[in-house]
Amino acid sequence: MSRGGRHVYSALSVLAAGALVLTGCSKGGSDTGTNDKKDQQDAKRQQASIKFGGTADSTGPAAPVPGAKSGGAMEVLQRDSYAHLDPGQIYVSDEGSLATLLHRGLTGYKTTSNDGHQHEVVGDLATDSGTTADGGKTWKYTLKDGIKFQDGTPITSKDIRWSIERLFAPFINQGPTYVQQWLADTSGATYRNLLKDGPYKGKHLPNSVLETPDDKTIVFHFKKSHPDLPYALAMAGYAVVSQKGDTKERYDKNPVVTGPYKIQSFKSGKSMVLVKNPNWDPKTDPIRHQYVDQFNITFNQQFETSTKSLLADSGADQAGISFNNQVDAGNLSQVLHDPKMKARTVSGYQPYVGQMNINMSHPAMKDKTVREAIAYALPITPFVRAYGGNDAMEVAGGLISPTVSGYDAAFDPWGKKKNPGGDPAKAKALLQKAGKLNMKLTFGYINTPEGQQYSTAMAAGLKKAGFDVQRQEIPAETYYDQVSKLNNNYDIFHTAWGADWPSASTVLPPLYDGRVIADGAQNYSQVNDPKINSEIDRINTITDPVKSAAEWEKLDQYIVKDVVNVVPTAYYKQVQIAGSKVGGLVYDDVIGGVDPRRLYIK
Amino acid sequence: MLRFLVRRIIGAVVILFLLSIVTFVLFFGVPRDPALMMCGKTCNPDAIANIHHVLGLDKPITEQYWIFLHNLVMGSNQFAQGPCPAPCFGYSYHTNEQVWATLMDRLPTTVSLTLGAAVCFLFVGLGTGLLAAWRRGTLIDKAATAGAMVISSLQIYFLGPLALAILVYQTHWFDKPDYTDFTHDPVSWFTGLIIPWVILSTIFAAQYTRMARSSMIEQLQEEHVRTARAKGMSRAYVFFRYAWRGSLIPIVTIFGIDLGSLFGGAIITEYTFGLPGLGNLAVQSVFFSDLPLLLGVMLFSASMILLFNIIVDAAYAFIDPRVRLS
């Protein structure tokens, strides 16, 4: 899934915190009016049905949205301006949502139900989701007929080659790196050595790596098998870039697009207007629609402002929406308690899963009994409350989110789902057994209103179990920089991580592979467990997505229950709202928010 | 006069120079790396090194500072994003846009907000203050003083959302605050800014009421005023000819500083009403660890404050002939 990186996330939480401070708004906790059961069931349906589609699935046009009408202008209220429009630079959610209207790639997610919960990966520019005859080492794609850029130029395999090759150039530094690393058969950033300047100095990737035998065919050659390629290519970061129209750094402000909408004007930090792209042919596109004539996007709309504007439901805001703003915590319970307002909302899971990291590099934390005591004692209720209750957070059992294949709702080794307040008595007994009663525990917490709130209550819970908890605040702006330093002095600290696509292969390896421990990397707990490492290698070669999902879940359970380097806290959720004239309002699990492609004006 | 101006301008340049050094050092002193922010999810030391190199952050700080100064004065053609004519603050890390162009793009919003609010608060604030002084001790004076006291203790982040809730969302009497270029559509420009103007000027007007009142009362007790009255001049004549000019001095001083800082960005007002001005830009530059933008906004805002200080000092000579610039 093309959702935000951890640093972006930290930035966003800072922004959110700022909004609270500046508007003098206080959070009201709401523990009622939940859609828990429905959300969970919906998520379950999705993982059960996701598959890689063939030619028939990949043929346009997309099935019409029931009741949809064409025409009209939709007002879009967004908090942050778009920093990147070049597909190669797109990773975060805001730009990912926008990209669903602008950019097309070889593959994409097609919703196969009208509720946004069932998906399959299909060919978008390609005729199918990709064919492989050798278990994922060689992947072949054929381009459809009639696909064009906004300027009317046909899209050929040369453009696809160009789009992939330019990702190796130094100026592309914000998008995903999966496919580059797979092509270069390396981890880290050394993949750039394969094509140092990208295609800009006349060099190209050899045919043994990326092959384009004719105008329609693209073949990827990997050294190892990568069964996840159809997922990866569906990320906005791998959408096509026009070779003819490539302006390098300047493409980021003025891309040549392929989707149903093109950019009529973009005033960075102020506004953007999208209009219909006449060179987009619905017959080639199984995924998108083009109902609305025009999207008028305005930036600098804080969550509270956009919520209030859309709640007021007057004037142009009746046909108003936000692709990414949530209903702010202060208005959440009011919105969900009023049936009329609630009817205009959609809710669902964000891809993030929260976890309390236990710093395995500290000698005191090497005792597994101590870590088990932390796991039993840690109360999750304060975390859920701090973010606005059960509509914003759901207590987690494992590290795999409900929207990711392999999620096991029954897994709950520390009893958090049943008893989110923690079990200090059991924890105290364990500490006593280990002879570590009243041991010092340094808790680094993020200095946001939420962080202050939940860390105080969590510390109290841990104290009850016999830990001598020392809370240490970390400024929100530098939080992730500090906790990802190898020599940080925090015993426990909280982080959140989201999957890039609905497979745990984008969750467990980056977070728990002991061979990628480094300053600034994401193995926050610094766990280096031989079994985790070898299991990652083994599961990465399984080509059957259903089988690998089951194996990832087993590894998840091993990490949470047997290694205990992290304690899962919560699955992040959100509620979004639209004006009364907005039709086709659906929360899409893959986008992790409103699906802009289905919207129409009633 | 000329000597005065030259001296003050040189002084201002020195202050800006020192400020730029302090900003630079502070930025690198904070344990926060802009590269980490841009690095995305699959971040690793090599990727960070690459970003450092692309941004020029792998060079020694002194060299980076020298390049910054050089570009500021001479402009630069070294940026991959395109040419950067002087005054060149470089390109934003976060948006990849030319900082100076961004500042100029946001300036009209801030200028519109500031000038509109300034007209309101000067008119209302001074008017009420003078009235209160003229009618000192009466009910009008007491009401004005008490009202000003209450209002000036309020904050924009309280009044702003309150005004929005009542005037926009509940009653729909006013348009939602929004900025439209004056040249594009003057009516939308006006209607979109009414609420921000009113809220911003309400708080300032209260302060100016108190200031104008006390300054006027002080002036009315001066000996030259008493002499003028003793010579038989009418109360109104003395009030407006003698006391008024003298009472303006402290007000002009404060007004200059207020205007300067507002031109540098009314941060909270812009943030509350979602106006794309310099204040919002300042917030954004801090959140995204965007050094070029941060330096640009800082120095621009500081220049505004310094500029208006110089103007105020020069204006003293015109308001009060007793002041000699030397």
Q: Which of A270, A448, A474, A508 to mutate to test the interface with B (most CBs of B within 10 A)?
A: A270
Sheet holding A345-358, edge to edge: A393-395, A566-577, A345-358, A492-498, A439-447, A467-475
CB contact under 8 A, B45 and A314: no
Determine phi and psi for A74, rounding to 5 degrees: -110, 135
Chain A residues with beta carbon closer than 8 angstroms to that of B296: none
Determine phi and psi for A576, rounding to 5 degrees: -125, 155
- Here the ipTM equals 0.80
DSSP H/E element including B106: helix B99-134
CB contact under 8 A, B176 and A174: no
Query: A595: buried, middle or exposed (CB in 10 Å: 19+, 13-18, 0-12)?
Result: buried
How confident is the model at residue A155, as a pLDDT?
A: 97
Q: What angle do CA A341, A343, A346 make, to 5 degrees?
A: 105
The DSSP letter of residue A195 is G
Shortest Cα distance, chain A CAs vs residue B164, angstroms: 9
Determine phi and psi for B215, rounding to 5 degrees: -65, -40
How confident is the model at residue B226, as a pLDDT?
A: 87
Candidates A189, A300, A478; nearest CB to B44: A189
Shortest Cα distance, chain B CAs vs residue A437, angstroms: 35
How confident is the model at residue B40, as a pLDDT?
A: 66
| Structure tokens that stand for A541 in this block | 């070669």
Report pLDDT digits (tens) over B196-206.
999 999 989 99
Q: What angle do CA B211, B216, B217 make, to 5 degrees?
A: 105
For chain B, give me the number of helices (H) and strands (E)? 14, 0
CB contact under 8 A, A177 and B42: yes
Could you count the other beta carbons within 10 Å of the beta carbon of residue A574? 23
Chain A residues with beta carbon closer than 8 angstroms to that of B272: 22-23
Shortest Cα distance, chain A CAs vs residue B280, angstroms: 8
Cβ atoms A234, A107 nearer than 8 A: yes
Report pLDDT digits (tens) over B77-112.
888 778 888 889 988 888 888 999 999 999 999 999
Candidates B40, B80, B95; nearest CB to A171: B80
Q: Region B295-310: what's the mean pLDDT?
A: 90
Could you count the other beta carbons within 10 Å of the beta carbon of residue A206? 11
Shortest Cα distance, chain A CAs vs residue B249, angstroms: 34
Q: Which of B44, B269, B290 to mutate to test the interface with A (most CBs of A within 10 A)?
A: B44
| Structure tokens that stand for A403 in this block | 């929207």
Report pLDDT digits (tens) over B9-37.
899 999 999 999 988 888 887 767 777 77
**B96 Cβ contact partners less than 8 Å away, ≥ 6 residues apart:** A83, A249, A252, A253, B81
Residues 444-503 on A with a CB inside 8 Å of B are: 477-478, 480-482, 484, 500
Report pLDDT digits (tens) over A143-176.
999 999 999 999 999 999 999 999 999 888 888 8
CB contact under 8 A, A312 and B94: no
A23 touches chain B (CB under 8 A): yes
Tell me what the pLDDT averaged over chain B comes to.
Answer: 86
Is the model's pLDDT at B136 over the cut of 50? yes
Cβ atoms A388, A332 nearer than 8 A: yes
Nearest-Cα residue of chain A relative to residue B79: A249
Candidates B31, B274, B283; nearest CB to A478: B31
Residues 210-269 on A with a CB inside 8 Å of B are: 248-250, 252-253, 267-269
Residue A273, helix vs strand vs coil: strand
Q: What are the DSSP calls for B273-325, one per residue? A: HT--SHHHHHHHHHHTT-HHHHHHHHHHHHHHHHHHHHHHHHHHHHH-TT---
Chain B residues with beta carbon closer than 8 angstroms to that of A322: none
Candidates B44, B82, B94; nearest CB to A520: B44
C-alpha distances in angstroms, B185 versus A24, A64, A152? 33, 39, 34
Residue B87 preceded by cis peptide, ω within 30: yes
CB contact under 8 A, A188 and B158: no
Q: Rounded to a whole number, what is the distance in angstroms from the first to the last CA of chain A?
A: 30
Shortest Cα distance, chain B CAs vs residue A214, angstroms: 33
Report pLDDT digits (tens) over A348-404.
998 899 999 999 999 999 999 999 999 999 999 999 998 888 888 999 999 999 888
Determine phi and psi for B141, rounding to 5 degrees: -60, -45
List average pLDDT for each run of 10 residues in chain A, which is 602 residues long: 34 31 30 49 52 90 94 94 91 89 96 86 95 91 96 96 94 88 86 91 94 96 91 95 93 94 93 96 96 95 90 91 91 89 92 94 94 96 90 92 87 94 95 93 92 94 95 85 89 93 90 86 92 93 83 95 96 94 93 94 95
Report pLDDT digits (tens) over B62-76.
888 998 888 888 888
A531 touches chain B (CB under 8 A): no
CB contact under 8 A, A22 and B54: no
C-alpha distances in angstroms, B141 versus A353, B133, B154? 61, 7, 20
CB contact under 8 A, B178 and A192: no
Candidates B45, B172, B268; nearest CB to A22: B268
Q: What angle do CA A155, A158, A162 make, to 5 degrees?
A: 105
The length of chain B, given as a count of residues: 326
pLDDT higher for B266 or A320?
A320
**B57 Cβ contact partners less than 8 Å away, ≥ 6 residues apart:** B34, B35, B51, B64
Shortest Cα distance, chain B CAs vs residue A14, angstroms: 7
Proportion of chain B above pLDDT 70, given as a percent: 96
Q: What are the DSSP calls for A421-482, one per residue? A: T--HHHHHHHHHHHT-TTEEEEEEEEESHHHHHHHHHHHHHHHHTTEEEEEEEEEGGGHHHH
Candidates A24, A187, A315; nearest CB to B158: A24
Q: What are the DSSP calls for A285-306, one per residue? A: -SS-----SEEEEE----HHHH
CB contact under 8 A, A302 and B275: no
Cβ atoms B94, B284 nearer than 8 A: yes
Instruction: Tell me how far apart the alpha carbons of residues A600 and A517 are, in angstroms, rounded to a whole number.
Output: 47
| Structure tokens that stand for A107 in this block | 């593959």
Chain B residues with beta carbon closer than 8 angstroms to that of A174: 38-40
- Which residues pair with residue A275 across a beta bridge? A262, A294
CB contact under 8 A, B49 and A189: yes
Q: What angle do CA A533, A537, A539 make, to 5 degrees?
A: 115
Radius of gyration of chain A (CA): 24
The DSSP letter of residue A325 is P
| Structure tokens that stand for A68 in this block | 């949809």
CB contact under 8 A, B40 and A5: yes
B18 touches chain A (CB under 8 A): no
CB contact under 8 A, B41 and A519: no
pTM confidence score: 0.84
Q: Tell me whether strands A261-267 and A294-298 are parallel, antiparallel or unpaired.
A: unpaired
CB contact under 8 A, A308 and B165: yes
Instruction: Tell me how far apart the alpha carbons of residues A598 and A66 are, in angstroms, rounded to a whole number.
Output: 10
B45 touches chain A (CB under 8 A): yes
How confident is the model at residue B324, as a pLDDT?
A: 63
| Structure tokens that stand for A126 in this block | 């390609």
How confident is the model at residue A372, as a pLDDT?
A: 96
A300 touches chain B (CB under 8 A): yes
Instruction: Tell me how far apart the alpha carbons of residues B11 and B256 are, in angstroms, rounded to a whole number.
Output: 17
CB contact under 8 A, B172 and A171: no
How confident is the model at residue A9, as a pLDDT?
A: 35
The strand ranges marked E within A209-344 are 210-211, 217-221, 261-267, 271-276, 294-298, 320-321
- State the residue for tokens 């040249």: B183
Shortest Cα distance, chain A CAs vs residue B284, angstroms: 9
| Structure tokens that stand for A467 in this block | 């830990």
Q: What are the DSSP calls for A497-532, one per residue? A: EE-SSSSGGGTHHHHH-GGG--TTSS-TT----HHH
How confident is the model at residue B153, as a pLDDT?
A: 87
CB contact under 8 A, A267 and B105: yes
Instruction: Tell me how far apart the alpha carbons of residues A317 and A123 are, in angstroms, rounded to a whole number.
Output: 36
Nearest-Cα residue of chain A relative to residue B281: A269
Count of pairs with CB atoms under 8 A, one residue in A, one in B: 164
Chain A residues with beta carbon closer than 8 angstroms to that of B106: 269
DSSP H/E element including B92: none
Could you count the other beta carbons within 10 Å of the beta carbon of residue A335? 22
| Structure tokens that stand for A530 in this block | 């031989």
Residues 59-98 on B with a CB inside 8 Å of A are: 80-82, 94-97
Instruction: Tell me how far apart the alpha carbons of residues A359 and A564 are, in angstroms, rounded to a whole number.
Output: 11
Chain B residues with beta carbon closer than 8 angstroms to that of A516: 44
3-state secondary structure B126-186: HHHHHHHHHCCCCHHHHHHHHHHHHHHCCCHHHHHHHHHHHHHHHCCCCCCCCCCCCCCCH
A510 touches chain B (CB under 8 A): yes
Candidates B50, B172, B275; nearest CB to A314: B172
CB contact under 8 A, A478 and B32: yes
